[in-house]
Amino acid sequence: MSIDMEQFKATFIEESLEGLDIMESVLLEMQPGEADAEEVDNIFRAAHSIKGGSATFGFSDISNFTHVVETLLDQIRAGEREVTQEAINLFLSSVDCIRDMLAGAQEGFDINFEQVAEVKAGLDRMLGSAPEAAVPAEAGPETQEDTPAASGWKIIFKPFPDMLRSGNDVVRLFRELADMGEMDAVVDLEGLPALADMEPEEACLNWGVTLSGAVSREQIDEVFEWVEGDCELSITAIGGDEAVLVETPVESVTEAAAANPTPVQAAPATRERRTSNDRRQGDRRKSRSSSENSSIRVGIDKVDALINLVGELVITQSMLGQLGEDFSMDKVERLKDGLAELERNTRELQENVMSIRMLPISFAFNRFPRMVHDLCGKLEKKIELKMSGEQTELDKTVMEKIGDPLVHLVRNAVDHGIETPDKRLAAGKSETGTVHLNAYHQGGNILIEISDDGAGLNRERILAKAIERGLANSGDNLSDAEIFDFLFQPGFSTADVVSDVSGRGVGMDVVKRNITALGGAIDVESRPGNGSTFTIRLPLTLAILDGQLVRVGEQTFIIPLVSIIESLQVEPVRVNAIAGSAELYKLRDDYLPIIRLYDAFGLKPDSTNLEDGLLVVVEGHGQQAGLLVDDLLAQQQVVIKSLETNFKKVVGISGATILGDGTVALIVDIGGIIELSHNGSKRANSAAA
């Protein structure tokens, strides 16, 4: 019978990753010197399961690695080893290594062997010359004594009265012996008590067995392996050239077995491991293709709610269907009720379907405790990471794209925001800094705040740098917000020393671009000595958009409501036509470039006269512009359909949707249309700033 072990590997990898998450979070909580028994037990068990599973399912490299971790944890569990910071860090690195190895096994990419070897060396060093061997003897000496091939064996077997209570059955033992060769058993009734004294649950017979055939001593030992200590056993070889007497009292059997615990089972296990390794090579490609289809875990309650709603929809539909069969005007009230019901069903169904894509933001936050812990070690800072609102839900796609910007901001907070302990003490603050991650809903948006209680942004230094780079003039009277906004300019860094943590001057502009690409925005607040807060505002989902419908000639376009600042009628005196074709509109103190949408999309408008149309002031990619449209229509939620999958990418258009009357409307990509309008010219931009 052959069973393909591959089918269990996915489960194994999944449960191992969960185990590693548990190990990591427990390790992060752990303080040197205080080993909470339950905590240590938890991580030990996780390591233990991973080791056992990886050996079973053919990942011998993972098994060997984890074995050392497990051994160390076992020593800690037994109180033989102290929990040091070094040990905690080493375990955390081990978690990373195992995670890498699992990912490597799953996805088929090459793992960083150097790093694994390095951590393994650290573990081995820590294990030192511990009495236990680091790695179980895999193909260890199988025979501790070269037993001569005997032609048979004489076995004297005297079970102790309690032997049966372990579930071991004399019949089973004899059946096994009989399978190996010709067996002749003689019962010794001497120990048999009188019937009245007989205890049925106790063994009271002694046996003399003669086993003939080519049977090795190991085979016989294996049969009696489980009853060692429960019986008196003597095994004597008979036949061959000379009779070899192997008198084995109980104790020495135990000793021998301890020295080489399970020779018989260890050998085939090694063979299995090797074949699985060969097989894995071929199967990697298979598992990779399956993991490309990204999947989502949905709570069963959400699925139940959907089924429930679909049920209601079906009821409404059948009600309306009946109504339609013999409709007369006196039933119009019922029709209206039915349609209202249908609207409610549809809306609820939509909300529920959308919620399936929603995941708690803890998915994105989870990596930070570890990251902050590691950075603290590297930068010699003391930081407490607080998180709140982890259960706030966010669209899966948004979640994936917000990960990197968040990492960047948290790194910055740790590296630049929080001061070193001595500086903090000197400033009269507590030695330990706080970085706070918070998420919450506000309107149709989700807000994520990354705040620190560090030194705050250095307004003067940023301004000086901005002037140096020609982004501002020394005479400019700029607000804090305007000055902090320079941080998001490409290549802008005020860090004196470029560390390997942050400060390379790349990033903040990318952070801002990524957030804007998601339809979001980022703000900074900072007070010297009190720290800074970065606030990211994101739309809840990318699939539905609150849109403003606008008309240009005969076409309807949709402008995302979040990008609209205001809409106004053009006052001709405020329009400045400057050199070239650019027109600027003076709105309060700013000059906005005017973008005639009909021009951009090559349409025929009602009128080319500025006063006849309306100017919709929008902001995208950090720039403002006024879009000239013929008319403002309704505001409504629209479902975004990708233009790329159905047609091709069009600059200035981010997608399309189908309106209530069945016509298709295009959604304007504000960032794109602004870029399009000034084609790389920064004139309007600097004028607006």
Partner 1 sequence: MANILAVDDSASMRQMVVFTLRGAGHKVTEAADGQVALDLAKRQRFDLVLSDVNMPRMDGITLARELRALPAFKFTPILMLTTEGGMGKKQEGKAAGATGWIVKPFNPEQLLATIKKVVG
* Among 626, 572, 564, 628, CA closest to 596: 628
Task: Please tell me whether residue 52 binds partner 1 under the rule CB under 8 A.
Answer: yes
Identity of the residue, 265 or 608, whose beta carbon is nearer to partner 1 in the bound complex: 265
Q: For residue 152, what are the β-bridge partners?
A: 212, 238
Q: Give the Cα separation of 456 and 454 in Å (integer).
A: 6
Stretch that binds partner 1, among 42-50, 400-408, 544-552, 590-598 (CB under 8 A): 42-50
Q: Give the Cα separation of 464 and 470 in Å (integer).
A: 10
Q: Which of 21, 39, 49, 396 binds partner 1 (CB under 8 A)?
A: 49
The two tokens of residue 641 are 């359909």
CB contact set of 616 (below 8 Å; sequence gap of 6+): 548, 550, 559, 564, 567, 626, 627, 629, 632
Task: Please tell me whether residue 512 binds partner 1 under the rule CB under 8 A.
Answer: no
Q: Give the Cα separation of 377 and 374 in Å (integer).
A: 5
| CB of 6 vs partner 1, minimal distance in Å | 11
Q: Give the Cα separation of 324 and 619 in Å (integer).
A: 48
| CB of 62 vs partner 1, minimal distance in Å | 12
| CB of 367 vs partner 1, minimal distance in Å | 24
| CB of 27 vs partner 1, minimal distance in Å | 18
The two tokens of residue 439 are 């998420």
Residue-wise DSSP of 277-290: HHHHHHHHHHHHHH
Could you report how far apart the first and last alpha carbons of the chain are, in Å?
Answer: 76
The two tokens of residue 484 are 């902090």
Q: Which of 33, 141, 268, 602 binds partner 1 (CB under 8 A)?
A: 268
CB contact set of 515 (below 8 Å; sequence gap of 6+): 402, 405, 521, 522, 536, 538
Q: Which of residues 156-175 bind partner 1 (CB under 8 A)?
A: 164-169, 172, 175
Residue in this structure with the two tokens 């000197």, named with its chain if needed: 426
Task: Please tell me whether residue 254 binds partner 1 under the rule CB under 8 A.
Answer: yes
Q: Which of residues 96-155 bind partner 1 (CB under 8 A)?
A: 136
Task: Please tell me whether residue 68 binds partner 1 under the rule CB under 8 A.
Answer: no
Q: Which of 53, 152, 605, 626 binds partner 1 (CB under 8 A)?
A: 53
Residues in the chain: 689
| CB of 119 vs partner 1, minimal distance in Å | 22
Q: Which of 204, 266, 354, 659 binds partner 1 (CB under 8 A)?
A: 266
Identity of the residue, 45 or 334, whose beta carbon is nearer to partner 1 in the bound complex: 45
Identity of the residue, 165 or 527, whose beta carbon is nearer to partner 1 in the bound complex: 165
Q: Which residues are catalytic?
A: 48, 70, 412
Identity of the residue, 52 or 181, whose beta carbon is nearer to partner 1 in the bound complex: 52
> What are the CB-based long-range contacts (under 8 Å, 24+) for 8-14?
8/57, 9/57, 9/58, 9/105, 9/287, 10/287, 12/53, 12/54, 12/56, 12/57, 13/102, 13/105, 13/106
| CB of 229 vs partner 1, minimal distance in Å | 7
Task: Please tell me whether residue 32 binds partner 1 under the rule CB under 8 A.
Answer: no
Q: How many residues bind partner 1 (CB under 8 A)?
A: 47
Q: Which of residues 297-316 bind partner 1 (CB under 8 A)?
A: none
Q: Give the Cα separation of 631 and 220 in Å (integer).
A: 95
| CB of 64 vs partner 1, minimal distance in Å | 12
Stretch that binds partner 1, among 84-92, 113-121, 254-262, 356-364 (CB under 8 A): 254-262
Stretch that binds partner 1, among 44-52, 100-108, 518-526, 599-607 (CB under 8 A): 44-52
Identity of the residue, 19 or 417, whose beta carbon is nearer to partner 1 in the bound complex: 19
| CB of 93 vs partner 1, minimal distance in Å | 23
* Among 176, 231, 175, CA closest to 203: 231
Give the max Cα distance, the chain.
125
Q: Which of 26, 63, 455, 655 binds partner 1 (CB under 8 A)?
A: 63
| CB of 155 vs partner 1, minimal distance in Å | 17
| CB of 94 vs partner 1, minimal distance in Å | 18
CA 674, 677, 681, 685 torsion-angle sign? negative
Stretch that binds partner 1, among 269-277, 278-286, 423-431, 615-623 (CB under 8 A): 269-277
In the 8-state DSSP scheme, what is residue 34?
B
Identity of the residue, 193 or 229, whose beta carbon is nearer to partner 1 in the bound complex: 229
Identity of the residue, 49 or 291, whose beta carbon is nearer to partner 1 in the bound complex: 49
Task: Please tell me whether residue 623 binds partner 1 under the rule CB under 8 A.
Answer: no
Q: Which of 40, 48, 155, 280 binds partner 1 (CB under 8 A)?
A: 48
Identity of the residue, 179 or 590, whose beta carbon is nearer to partner 1 in the bound complex: 179
* Among 446, 457, 385, CA closest to 414: 385
Task: Please tell me whether residue 229 binds partner 1 under the rule CB under 8 A.
Answer: yes
152, 213 Cβ separation under 8 angstroms:
yes
| CB of 51 vs partner 1, minimal distance in Å | 7
| CB of 233 vs partner 1, minimal distance in Å | 15
Q: What are phi and psi of 427, to 5 degrees?
A: -85, 5
* Cα separation values, 532 from 4, 214, 402, Å: 56, 82, 20
Q: Which of 113, 160, 226, 363 binds partner 1 (CB under 8 A)?
A: 226
CB contact set of 369 (below 8 Å; sequence gap of 6+): 25, 28, 385, 387
Pairing mode of beta strands 631-639, 583-587: unpaired
Q: Which of residues 72-101 bind partner 1 (CB under 8 A)?
A: none
| CB of 38 vs partner 1, minimal distance in Å | 10
383, 348 Cβ separation under 8 angstroms:
no
Residue-wise DSSP of 212-257: ESS--HHHHHHHTGGGTTSEEEEEEEE-SSS-------HHHHHHHH
Stretch that binds partner 1, among 267-275, 287-295, 309-317, 352-360 (CB under 8 A): 267-275
Q: Which of 26, 57, 316, 555 binds partner 1 (CB under 8 A)?
A: 57
Identity of the residue, 145 or 179, whose beta carbon is nearer to partner 1 in the bound complex: 179
3 state SS of 129: coil
Identity of the residue, 230 or 485, whose beta carbon is nearer to partner 1 in the bound complex: 230
Identity of the residue, 175 or 527, whose beta carbon is nearer to partner 1 in the bound complex: 175
Q: Name the strands in the sheet holding 614-620, side by side, starting at the edge strand that comes first in the sequence.
A: 564-569, 614-620, 623-629, 590-596, 583-587, 575-577
3 state SS of 297: coil
* Among 84, 64, 63, CA closest to 126: 84
565, 578 Cβ separation under 8 angstroms:
no
Identity of the residue, 200 or 475, whose beta carbon is nearer to partner 1 in the bound complex: 200
Identity of the residue, 222 or 606, whose beta carbon is nearer to partner 1 in the bound complex: 222
Q: Which of residues 3-22 bind partner 1 (CB under 8 A)?
A: 3, 5, 7-9, 11-12, 15
Q: Which of 189, 194, 195, 258 binds partner 1 (CB under 8 A)?
A: 258
Task: Please tell me whether residue 51 binds partner 1 under the rule CB under 8 A.
Answer: yes
* Among 219, 152, 159, CA closest to 187: 159
Task: Please tell me whether residue 202 binds partner 1 under the rule CB under 8 A.
Answer: no
Q: Which of 144, 262, 322, 499 binds partner 1 (CB under 8 A)?
A: 262
Which residues contribute to the site for partner 1 (CB under 8 A)?
1, 3, 5, 7-9, 11-12, 15, 42, 44-45, 48-49, 51-53, 55-57, 63, 136, 164-169, 172, 175-176, 201, 225-226, 229-230, 254, 257-258, 261-262, 265-266, 268-269, 272-273
